[in-house]
Chain A
Amino acid sequence: MSSTSDNTPVIRITPPGKWEVIDFQELKDYRDLFFFLVWRDIKVLYAQTIMGFAWAILNPLVQIIIFSIIFGKVAKLDTDGIPYLLFSTVAIIPWSYMSEAMSRSSQSLVSGQGMLGKVYFPRLIFPITPILAKLVDFSISLVLLLAVMLYYRIAPTWNLLLLPFLVVLMMSVPAGIGFWLSALSIRFRDVKFAMPFVIRMLIYSAPILYTASSIPDGYRFFYSLNPIVAVIEGYRACLLGTPIPWEFILPGTVVSALLLVSGAIYFRKLERVFVDVI
């Protein structure tokens, strides 16, 4: 019998305060829970609606139409020769994903506080769940993107090979922000009030409705530090076959990696006291 005790897991519970690294093994042990929480988010999202998953298309569609009328037809913004509808669709679809994943992820701990106080599992599961669950909406809305591209007869180029990398980058931005803000919002509910308006502002921080080339040269570097710029410009180049803007993608990738790592560290530092500050 004593030989079996060698592999008994030992849990040590100590006072908080130490910096801790992410326990990937533990996250792996909880993968079934991960799966069910993501699946719950997906399943519950459009429960008791008539349109169901069509909402995943309708939402960006309405935005695209409105922006195309206002900025394309009325204000006649310059888009480097790309039809405005195509120009904005390519950007708004990843942006919808990022903005929704960001706001859900930031609120994940506050909305999950019932579970937080009653059961233990790796707390990082909370902010990561919406990042994964929202990918379903994103995939569905790609149908819309495909339709617009077909309409303008855009042929795929070798740039499309960049897509998997862009999807990862697109997920890491809201994940990094989600780690930071979910940990902050459990302490300060200000985040909840700031979030909608920050997201409304952020849409103007990246070349979603206008071109990146309209930014004066002197400010380009600061502009490129915004990882959302990298994602949006990356998607345009990848789907429309324009030259790949490495000057945006490289700094954006570095910043988003920094955001992700620092967010995860901050989250881990605070996660043990979450329950005491709810």
Chain B
Amino acid sequence: MSNDTIAVNVEEVSKVYRLGVKEQSSEHMVQMLWGFVRSPLQNFRKYRALYTFDDIDLDGKEQSDDILWALRDISFKVNKGDVVGIIGGNGAGKSTLLKILSRITPPTRGNVSIHGRVSSLLEVGTGFHPELTGRENVFLNGTILGMRRKEVARKFDEIVAFSDVEKFLDTPVKRYSSGMRVRLAFAVAAHLEPEILIVDEVLAVGDAAFQQKCMNKMQDVGKEGRTVLFVSHNMPAVTSLCDRVVWLDHGRKVAEGPAQEIVGKYLLEGVETTAHRVWKDPSSAPGGEFARLCEVRVVSESGEIVGHCDIQEPIGLQMEYEVLKGGEVMLPHFRLRNDNGVLVFVTLDHDPEWYQRPRPAGRYVSTAWIPGNLLNEGPHFVECNLMTRHPDIPQFHLADVVSFAVTGSMAPGTARGDWPGRLKGIVSPALEWRTEFSEG
């Protein structure tokens, strides 16, 4: 019933590769000669073994050493019109998955069904021949990518305009600079109009200006309501282009869901801390003579506990504590570190209401609001402290007590302008920019 809305359905797909089989070494002359005689048969078995797995019990408990599960029981669905990102570290299986979806390599087990006309773009300029001219290569490459000749002819002027190589159209491609070649190749790819587009990280080519052009084009494709599967390492690109994300790790699906959330989790991978810590038992809670910690939270503007936020959204660091003995001036403060352990800032409570004012005993919630467009993207770790003033006595002091991830965005109004790559720096404030222009 819901088949009309599904564009790609991946069901329990696994892919097994066989790693290199160790060569036997011979110890003496006779063995060596015997090995030489037998080697054709052995080689035959070896090459056959590359794609047959009859001899191995894939589900058995004992896993053979020379087997690599590039993908293991991956299932997910992509709805029509969705832009889905596939993320994961090196060796996660992203490329293998794309190759299976593109019908370049078959799955070892499992099924995929794709509903609609599909084009996959694992590389720009596939089939480009150096001896052919730019014009000829546009037609050749276009048809290789699945366009009809008429379609290429219709879009030819657009493709050429996009590539900026008009002058060299009748020059063999071998005389092109590598940049020109990439531009022409991408221009062809950018004018594909399939219902479903499968794209590998082809954006990492060309100069900055061209990268940006590609990025914009990708965004347009998403807006046109086409189904896109997009593999990338570029997290800001993923969060701004994709609706949903599938996260792979070592061939398995770790998580799948809304882009923001999954990218946030991905950035916090391996981080033990969460966005929320509670000490239910007062006896074990950190604290001193005057105050005791109850909870530390990372909250969104609406007060929800969140593990991630968009770079443009404010985020609150919140501590809930009990003042046990009234009459002291208290100074709650936070320190924030990024994933390199660099101290981003220290912030101390300066709420005018409690400024230099002794606090009565009771329960307090103090929140420090970090404005949007300040932190750079990536994981952040919070250190939570409280001390009394005059004399300064620390009450509690907890490093890395909670954490959250800031996810980048390609939306206008951030420090990145429309630059697609990663921005360096500890912070990424959207400063006010003015450019004055005078003629002449």
Residues of A contacting B127 in the complex (Cβ-Cβ under 8 angstroms)? 115, 119
Interface string of A16-51 (1 = CB under 8 A from B): 100000000000000011011100100110011000
Minimum distance in angstroms from B202 CB to a CB of chain A: 11
Among B110, B116, B123, B146, contact of A118 (Cβ-Cβ < 8 Å) = B123
A residues in contact with B113, CB < 8 Å: 10-13
Instruction: State whether the Cβ of B220 lies closer than 8 Å to any Cβ in chain A.
Output: no
- Interface residue tally on A, bucketed by range: 35 or more
| Inter-chain contact A43/B132, CB cutoff 8 Å | yes
Contact with A along B87-131 (1 / 0, CB 8 A): 000000000000111111111111111111110101100110101
B123 and A36 form a contact (CB under 8 A): no
- 8 tightest A-B contacts by CB? A13-B112, A273-B51, A120-B103, A47-B131, A32-B149, A33-B143, A11-B114, A16-B106
A residues lining the B interface (CB < 8 Å): 2, 5, 8-16, 32-33, 35-37, 40, 43-44, 47-48, 114-121, 187-188, 272-273, 275-277
Q: In the bound complex, do residue A36 and residue B51 qualify as a contact, i.e. CB atoms below 8 Å apart?
A: no
A2 (CB) vs chain B CBs: closest residue: B4
Shortest beta-carbon distance from B400 to chain A in Å = 44
Question: Which residues of chain B have C-beta atoms less than 8 A from A119's C-beta?
Answer: 102, 104, 120, 122-123, 126-127, 144-145
A176 vs B241: C-alpha distance in the bound complex, in angstroms?
A: 48
User: For the complex, is B136 an interface residue (Cβ under 8 Å from A)?
Assistant: yes
How many cross-chain pairs have Cβ atoms below 8 Å apart between A and B? 115
Indicate which residue in A16, A272, A277 contacts B47 across the interface (CB closer than 8 Å). A277
Measured CB to CB, the closest approach of chain B to A8, in angstroms, equals: 5
A36 touches B104 (CB 8 A): no
- Closest beta carbon of chain B to A48's beta carbon, Å: 7
Question: B122–A273 contact, CB under 8 A?
Answer: no
Residue contact A118 to B101, C-beta cutoff 8 Å: no
Of the A-B pairs whose beta carbons lie under 8 Å apart in the complex, a sample of 16, sorted by A's number, is A8-B116, A10-B114, A12-B113, A13-B106, A15-B107, A35-B143, A36-B140, A37-B140, A40-B136, A115-B127, A118-B126, A119-B104, A119-B126, A272-B105, A273-B106, A276-B17
If A15-B109, A119-B104 touch, whether A40 touches B129 (CB-CB below 8 Å) is: yes
CB distance from A244 to the nearest CB of B (A): 41
Query: For B48, B51, B108, B146, which residue has the most chain A Cβ atoms within 10 angstroms?
Result: B51
Partner of B111, one of A5, A9, A13, A121: A13
Tell me which of A9, A40, A273, A277 contacts B132 (CB under 8 A): A40
